[in-house]
Amino acid sequence: MAVWIVTGGTRGLGAGLVEELLALNAQVAFCARSAKDVHAAEQRWGANVLGVIGSLADPSFVARLVSLTVHRFGGLDGIAANAAVLGSPPLSEVTALDPSQLAQILEANLLGNLRLIAASHSHLVQSVSPRVLAITSDAAHAAYPGWSGYALSKAALEVLVETYGAEHPVVSTYILDPGDMDTALHAEALPHDPTPLRAPREVASAAAPLLHGARRQSGRYRLAPNGAGILALEEVTLRVAPVSS
Ligand SMILES: NC(=O)c1ccc[n+]([C@@H]2O[C@H](COP(=O)([O-])OP(=O)(O)OC[C@H]3O[C@@H](n4cnc5c(N)ncnc54)[C@H](OP(=O)(O)O)[C@@H]3O)[C@@H](O)[C@H]2O)c1
């Protein structure tokens, strides 16, 4: 059985990824800050899950998450770096962006994932098919006014994960842009968005080829409509081979 860590597993895309992994017969540790939500999700999902309460922004928590996972399930095959914060509303333009607000966003969305990768690495390389799946956003590649903090954190996360993959090609590193989904984070960002939103569980199912089975090329993927409401996994960019200096 493959063992995964999913950050932010209590709702939204994270909950969808936990459910998809359980359906693929994996054992899954997940985390979130709300103790109530972690307990409720653990009860809902049963024996093959481990819920761990804490914040990615807390350095000691990330190390604990990894060690509890390995202790409970005996190894680690994949991490889904899913949890992210938007920053406290109202979102600020660049000229009004408070550096301490930016630091809070980076602490959770970037440094938390750096610590997670670093703490997981020695376990991942013992797996026969180690994978890192990082959830990004189109905000990393588009200049949405007021979103610079979140966008910076996602752009930097992409560079972090691609560089880690170049340094350790034995680990498959996937960056996934899930598109707009019907989640709490989206409601916080765009409360009156009239566009139809994807169900996060549906997005998680479409991402299944990155979670199990034959390894795909490391790189950036997105989910696009493939007609009749079916989502297709599309390769957007493949990693450029690293230049040796
Ligand atoms: N929704 C969209 O339209 C959309 C579009 C593009 C990209 N994305 C990306 O998709 C991913 C999932 O987003 P979502 O929409 O599913 O978000 P969501 O509904 O807000 O869920 C976020 C999950 O992460 C947890 N979480 C948040 N901050 C955390 C922290 N510091 N430490 C540990 N857990 C934390 C939350 O639980 P607690 O609050 O209890 O901690 C929750 O379980 C994110 O990376 C987001 O940037 C979303």
- Dump pLDDT digits (tens) for 28-67: 999 999 999 999 999 999 999 999 999 999 999 999 999 9
Q: In the predicted model, what is the mean pLDDT of the chain?
A: 92
CA distances (Å), origin 45, targets 12, 24, 48, 191, 238? 15, 14, 7, 30, 35
- pLDDT confidence of residue 92: 85
**In contact, 150 and 87? CB cutoff 8 Å:** yes
Does residue 116's CB lie within 6 angstroms of at least one atom of ligand 1? no
Query: ∠ CA 23-28-30 to the nearest 5 degrees?
Result: 120
Q: Nearest residue CA, atom 20 of ligand 1?
A: 185
Does residue 84's CB lie within 6 angstroms of at least one atom of ligand 1? yes
Give the residue, 225 or 17, on which the prediction is more confident. Answer: 17
- 147 occurs within a structural domain: yes
201 backbone dihedrals φ, ψ, rounded to 5°:
-65, -35
- 42 occurs within a structural domain: yes
> Which ligand 1 atom sits closest to the C-alpha of 181?
3
- 244 occurs within a structural domain: no
Residue 26 has pLDDT above 90, yes or no: yes
- 83 occurs within a structural domain: yes
Supply 134's token pair.
């990082």
Residue 239 has pLDDT above 60, yes or no: no
Domain of 8, in residue numbers: 3-238
Q: Nearest residue CA, atom 5 of ligand 1?
A: 180
- pLDDT confidence of residue 27: 98
Identify the CATH number of the domain in which residue 228 sits. 3.40.50.720
> Which ligand 1 atom sits closest to the C-alpha of 38?
40
Residue 242 has pLDDT above 90, yes or no: no
pLDDT band at 237 (very low <50, low <70, confident <90, very high): low
- 203 occurs within a structural domain: yes
User: Hey, which of 58, 136, 174, 185 would you mutate to test ligand 1's pocket, going by the most ligand atoms within 8 Å of its Cβ?
Assistant: 185
What residues are paired with 51 via a beta bridge?
30
- 27 occurs within a structural domain: yes
Residue 114 has pLDDT above 80, yes or no: yes
User: Hey, which of 11, 44, 55, 105 would you mutate to test ligand 1's pocket, going by the most ligand atoms within 8 Å of its Cβ?
Assistant: 11
Number of domains the chain is built from? 1
Residue 119 has pLDDT above 70, yes or no: yes
Does residue 178's CB lie within 6 angstroms of at least one atom of ligand 1? yes
Residue 225 has pLDDT above 90, yes or no: no
pTM: predicted TM-score of the whole model, two decimal places: 0.95
Tally Cβ neighbours within 10 Å of residue 225.
Answer: 11
Centre of ligand 1 to C-alpha 152, Å, is 16
- 197 occurs within a structural domain: yes
Percent of the chain with pLDDT over 90: 83
For tokens 């450029």, the residue is 240
- The C-alpha torsion from 112 through 116 and 117 to 119, rounded to 10°, is 130
DSSP result, the chain: --EEEEES-SSHHHHHHHHHHHHTT-EEEEEES-HHHHHHHHHHH-TTEEEEE--TT-HHHHHHHHHHHHHHHS---EEEE------SSSP--GGG--HHHHHHHHIIIIIHHHHHHHHHHHHHTTSSS-EEEEE--GGGTS--TT-HHHHHHHHHHHHHHHHHHHH-TTSEEEEEE--SBSSHHHHHH-TT--S--B-HHHHHHHTHHHHSSSPPPSEEEEEEE-STT-EEEEEEEEPPPPPP-
> Mean per-residue pLDDT for 146-174?
96
- 190 occurs within a structural domain: yes
Centre of ligand 1 to C-alpha 86, Å, is 9
